[in-house]
């Protein structure tokens, strides 16, 4: 049973895989994997697709049959609780998004309203698609705060203002009648971009989420890295301006106070008048506004300053930039690249590539779906 679970874990959610890839991932022999895959196909858990995957790293190697989890097994729910809004996804176990809803609400200060809206909207989407409750396999929640994984509670101090005493998972579990699994949103953005997006070919990467808040997720040696207490990746609270503004965490000059949505909107207002946060910033960036391009370049250099020592220590292959601010494009990315080129120690032998995420602002919700899928009983 343990080997069967290992094979299924290697095959579930994401791009299709081959028997050889499953053997490499699990360490099981090719013969053992072949037998287990045959059983999973017979049980309707895995399906063999009608196309083949080229042999990786083998000159002249024959393409192998592609395997995927059977999409008919059930549906998963992903919820992203960001500072300024909620995103809800319904997806099949193969990763296909079936429904999506976004709602802007003051999540920071309205925990009860936020959780009720998320739960009721998700269940309404389920009803609209005619999905029976027995086909719902679980709920993943991405939250803009550190999460203590052993207790599934928010760390202290909470980065969502009024959520310190709120038990998110139990409340949603009671309201929805489903298993609920909670993780930090930047961690789940990293998971999604690694399994489904820009970092699908890398096993060592840093994902940076730049939105209302700032966070990072780390994938090291093919595993999501949580740190000792589940708080790894709090990039937004790395000091980049020693005598800068006071952050809500109590420190001064945190990266969030420089490149967060409120900080950028305030800076932009000095030269452009009243602005609507990221909406105006993205629009002006796409129109090539010189002041905005300078602002984004400076923001990228601040992000690079926080990232450079991390990249020197961890030596990642990729840095993937996600979140709303990533939509502004090359001025931001070039600022990050410029600072990493200058700031990453030569002893690492290379500066990591810096790429925009391909999943956009739905990455964190997709990561929540992946987490729910990892805990679901698929047979």
The CATH number for 230's domain is: 3.30.420.40
Question: What local confidence, expressed as pLDDT, does residue 61 receive?
Answer: 58
- At residue 59 the predicted structure's pLDDT band, cuts being 50, 70 and 90, is very low
Domain that holds residue 224: 200-358
56 within some domain: yes
257 within some domain: yes
188 in Cβ contact with 300 (< 8 Å):
no
Q: Are residues 48 and 143 in the same domain?
A: no
Query: Domain total for the chain?
Result: 3
CA atoms 277, 281, 283, 284: torsion sign: positive
Q: Are residues 181 and 324 in the same domain?
A: no
Q: Are residues 369 and 327 in the same domain?
A: no
Residue 27 token pair: 């360490």
- At residue 360 the predicted structure's pLDDT band, cuts being 50, 70 and 90, is very high
Q: Are residues 158 and 9 in the same domain?
A: no
CATH of the domain at 32: 1.10.10.10
141 in Cβ contact with 149 (< 8 Å):
no
Strands 136-143 and 180-184, bridge-based pairing: parallel
pLDDT greater at residue 370 or residue 347:
370
Q: Are residues 227 and 351 in the same domain?
A: yes
231 within some domain: yes
Q: Are residues 134 and 180 in the same domain?
A: yes
The pTM (predicted TM-score) of the whole model is 0.91
- DSSP label at residue 12: S
Percentage with pLDDT > 70 across the chain: 94
For the purposes of burial, counting CB atoms within 10 Å of the CB of 302, is it exposed (0-12), middle (13-18) or buried (19 or more)? buried
194 within some domain: no
Domain finish residue from 69, 102, 123: 69
- DSSP label at residue 155: -
- At residue 94 the predicted structure's pLDDT band, cuts being 50, 70 and 90, is confident
Q: Are residues 21 and 39 in the same domain?
A: yes
Say how far apart CA 248 and CA 159 lie, in whole Å: 8
Say how far apart CA 37 and CA 25 lie, in whole Å: 14
pLDDT 10s digits, 155-193: 766 567 688 778 999 999 999 999 999 999 999 999 999
Say how far apart CA 253 and CA 366 lie, in whole Å: 31
Say how far apart CA 151 and CA 344 lie, in whole Å: 36
Segment holding 323, helix H or strand E: none
286 within some domain: yes
Q: Are residues 138 and 124 in the same domain?
A: yes
55 within some domain: yes
Q: Are residues 334 and 284 in the same domain?
A: yes
pLDDT at 20 over 70: yes
193 within some domain: no
Q: Are residues 109 and 169 in the same domain?
A: yes
Q: Are residues 278 and 345 in the same domain?
A: yes
Question: What local confidence, expressed as pLDDT, does residue 305 receive?
Answer: 96
195 within some domain: no
Mean pLDDT score of the chain:
89
Chain position carrying tokens 């609507």:
276
- At residue 307 the predicted structure's pLDDT band, cuts being 50, 70 and 90, is very high
359 in Cβ contact with 179 (< 8 Å):
no
Strands 97-104 and 75-81, bridge-based pairing: unpaired
pLDDT at 316 over 50: yes
Q: Are residues 45 and 85 in the same domain?
A: no
For the purposes of burial, counting CB atoms within 10 Å of the CB of 159, is it exposed (0-12), middle (13-18) or buried (19 or more)? buried
Question: What local confidence, expressed as pLDDT, does residue 159 receive?
Answer: 63
- At residue 281 the predicted structure's pLDDT band, cuts being 50, 70 and 90, is confident
Strands 205-210 and 318-322, bridge-based pairing: parallel
């Amino acid at each position: 049973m343990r080997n069967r679970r290992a094979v299924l874990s290697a095959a579930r959610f994401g791009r299709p895989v081959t028997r050889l890839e499953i053997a490499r991932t699990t360490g099981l022999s090719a013969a053992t994997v072949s037998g287990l895959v045959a059983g999973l196909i017979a049980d309707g858990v895995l399906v063999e697709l009608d196309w083949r995957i080229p042999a990786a790293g083998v000159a002249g190697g024959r393409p192998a049959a592609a395997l995927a989890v059977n999409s008919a097994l059930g549906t998963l729910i992903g919820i992203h609780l960001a500072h300024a809004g909620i995103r809800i996804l319904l997806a099949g176990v193969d990763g296909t998004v079936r429904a999506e809803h976004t709602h802007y609400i003051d999540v920071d200060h309205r925990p009860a309203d936020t959780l009720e809206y998320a739960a009721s909207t998700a269940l309404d989407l389920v009803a609209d698609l005619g999905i029976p409750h027995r086909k719902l396999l679980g709920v993943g929640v991405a939250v803009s705060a550190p999460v203590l994984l052993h207790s599934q509670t928010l760390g202290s101090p909470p980065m969502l203002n009024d959520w310190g005493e709120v038990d998110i998972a139990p409340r949603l579990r009671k309201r929805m009648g489903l298993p609920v699994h909670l993780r930090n949103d930047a961690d789940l953005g990293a998971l999604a971009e690694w399994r489904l997006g820009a970092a699908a070919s890398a096993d060592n990467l840093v994902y940076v989420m730049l939105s209302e808040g700032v966070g990072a997720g780390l994938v090291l040696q093919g595993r999501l890295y949580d740190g000792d207490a589940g708080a790894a990746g709090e990039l937004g609270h790395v000091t980049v301006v020693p005598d800068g503004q006071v952050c809500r965490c109590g420190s001064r000059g945190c990266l969030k106070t420089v490149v967060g949505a409120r900080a950028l909107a305030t800076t932009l207002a000095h030269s452009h008048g009243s602005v609507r946060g990221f909406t105006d910033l993205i629009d002006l960036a796409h129109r090539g506004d010189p002041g905005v391009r300078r602002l984004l370049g400076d923001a990228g250099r601040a992000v690079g300053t926080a990232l450079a020592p991390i990249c020197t220590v961890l030596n990642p292959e990729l840095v993937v930039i996600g979140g709303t601010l990533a939509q502004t494009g090359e001025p931001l990315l070039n600022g990050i690249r410029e600072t990493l080129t200058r700031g990453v120690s030569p002893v690492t032998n290379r500066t990591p590539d810096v790429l925009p995420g391909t999943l956009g602002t739905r990455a964190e919700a997709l990561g929540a779906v992946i987490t729910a899928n990892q805990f679901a009983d698929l047979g």
